[in-house]
Amino acid sequence: MRKISTLLFLFVTVASFGQITLTPNNGCVGSTFDITITGSIPSTGATPCSAVSGVFTGGTQQIAVTNPVASQASPPVTVSLTIPSNFAAGTYDFRVSYQYNGFCYSGSCVSCFTVNPKPSNVSVSPSGAISRCEGQSVNLLCSASGATSYQWTLDGGNIDAAINAGTFASTNGTYRCVATNSCGNTISDSAILTFNPLPTPATINAVGSMLHANSAVAVEFKWYLDGTVLNGQTDSMLTATQNGAYTVEITDANGCKSTSAAYNYPQTGIDNLEGSLFALTPNPASGFVTINTDLTNGFTAYIISTEGRIVNLTESQSSTALIDISKLAKGIYMVKLKTSNGEVQKRLTIQ
């Protein structure tokens, strides 16, 4: 009989919870505020109140509220609620119990209180150290959960009009995204952008048909004729084979590019000897280089630096010549042979 009475008491206690309404019915993590509870709350007749007040999930208490001391039996009743900053966002049940004139009054509602977070998982893509070239831009994208607005900053200061999830950056500095909603804001990681200056364009020097791109910073070369790329021509030197405007695009160690002014090359009959035998041995060479030709009437040989200076001149009365190059600096040279019928040239590497 005692067990039946106990079960009956519990049934009466649970069933006696009244339906309540909360104002406000939501809050932000880390906030402290008062909730006004309205509704019809019956008395359980129990003294003192044994029910716990606060936020619940599936009957398990998540946030405790100190039982209020009511000034009247019926709502409105005000309780204070503090939401921990690390609390999980979501929708929760709410229960309240309070004592008045020796009676315990209890009310509850289901899925009636929402905890709202600040924006979370805020990140910038791409992030970290980013290198680009002057004149380029980087499309930065801010990703955030729960954000309703965005503000981009550069070195800590707001960027005017940069208030969308994406922005284009073209200035050196540290970029961050501030994601905001009604509960506050969260700052992203950073993108540190460096825009490297473009290299000084190469200058093109010519010795006969040999064109040379002079640049102190180039690591790659790409030649063009009348705006069309010359496939496979990726050296600093190029032998012009037809008239036209030659340009060279260089790339520096930062991957930045620039294009030279056009060099207008006129062909002037230097191909008259192109069918002749002309060999340099050895090549690369050091000490001496031998010129072998089929020019039985002899020739004049010029060794010309990339700056266009003649550094050696040799007259040969036969089809061959042995030239001392031991005093010449290491590098790339052009060897030009001239006869009364024309001229021909080849590249020589001295090492």
Of 9-13, 97-101, 257-261, 303-307, where does the model show the most confidence?
257-261
The pLDDT of 296-322, averaged and rounded, is: 88
Q: Kindly state the tokens that stand for 332.
A: 């790339």
Backbone Cα Rg of the chain: 43
**For residue 196, what are the contacts with CB-CB under 8 A and spacing of at least 6?**
131, 132, 133, 134, 254, 256
What is the distance between the alpha carbons of residues 74 and 106, in angstroms, rounded to a whole number?
Answer: 10
Contact of 63 with 85, CB cutoff 8 Å: no
CA distances 34 to 56, 66, 82, Å, are 17, 12, 9
Q: Is the pLDDT of residue 7 over 60?
A: no
Q: 3-class DSSP state for residue 8?
A: helix
Which of these ranges, 138-147, 276-285, 336-345, has the smallest mean pLDDT? Answer: 336-345
Q: Is the pLDDT of residue 33 over 80?
A: yes
Contact of 83 with 115, CB cutoff 8 Å: yes
In the prediction, which pLDDT does 340 show?
Answer: 78
Q: Is the pLDDT of residue 210 over 80?
A: yes
Q: Is the pLDDT of residue 269 over 60?
A: no
Instruction: Band the pLDDT of 253: cuts 50, 70, 90.
Output: very high
Which of these ranges, 39-53, 71-85, 296-310, 336-350, has the smallest mean pLDDT? Answer: 39-53
Specify which residues 225 forms β-bridges with: 228, 246
What is the average pLDDT value for the chain, to the nearest integer? 87
DSSP string, 11-59: HHHHHTPEEEEEES-EEETT-EEEEEEEE---B---SS--SPEEEEETT
What is the distance between the alpha carbons of residues 246 and 242, in angstroms, rounded to a whole number?
Answer: 10
**For residue 10, what are the contacts with CB-CB under 8 A and spacing of at least 6?**
none
Q: For residues 296-326, b (16+ Cβ closer than 10 Å) or e, as one string?
A: eebbebbbbbbeeeeebebebeebebebebe
Q: Is the pLDDT of residue 240 over 80?
A: yes
What is the distance between the alpha carbons of residues 201 and 218, in angstroms, rounded to a whole number?
Answer: 9
In the prediction, which pLDDT does 262 show?
Answer: 93
| pLDDT above 70 coverage of the chain, percent | 91
Q: Is the pLDDT of residue 323 over 90?
A: yes
Q: Is the pLDDT of residue 5 over 60?
A: no
What is the distance between the alpha carbons of residues 27 and 18, in angstroms, rounded to a whole number?
Answer: 23
In the prediction, which pLDDT does 320 show?
Answer: 93
What is the distance between the alpha carbons of residues 171 and 114, in angstroms, rounded to a whole number?
Answer: 42
116 by Cβ neighbours in 10 Å (0-12 / 13-18 / 19+) ranks as middle
Q: Is the pLDDT of residue 2 over 80?
A: no
What is the distance between the alpha carbons of residues 22 and 293, in angstroms, rounded to a whole number?
Answer: 104
Contact of 36 with 76, CB cutoff 8 Å: yes
Instruction: Band the pLDDT of 69: cuts 50, 70, 90.
Output: low
CA distances 74 to 18, 37, 143, 313, Å, are 11, 10, 48, 116
- Chain centroid to CA 185: how far? 23
Contact of 336 with 310, CB cutoff 8 Å: no
Of 263, 295, 266, residue with least CA distance to 279: 295
